[in-house]
Amino acid sequence: MRGQLCARVLRRGVRAVRAVRAVRGDSGMVTSEYAMGLIAAVGFAGLLYKVVTSGQVRAALQAVVEKALDVQF
């Protein structure tokens, strides 16, 4: 009796895994997609670096830090 129950549960589990795999399709990116994502991330990081190191943003960040340091406890 217990062996039959275990076998039924196992069969249902196998069916469930197969169903998920059939619906899911691709499991990840291919190399070309990974490369394009990496290039986009590096480009965005470069753009963000340029913005943060610009004169106006640097002055604004410095003002925020100075204001935070001047707080009286």
Q: What is the pLDDT of residues 11-44, one digit of tens each?
A: 767 677 676 666 566 566 678 888 898 999 999 9
- Residue of 39, 58, 38 whose CA lies nearest to 50: 58
Give per-residue pLDDT as tens, 44-56: 999 989 888 888 8
Beta-carbon contacts of 1 under 8 Å, excluding residues fewer than 6 positions away, are none
Q: What is the pTM of this model?
A: 0.44
Residue 1 has pLDDT above 60, yes or no: no
Domain boundaries, the chain: 2-69
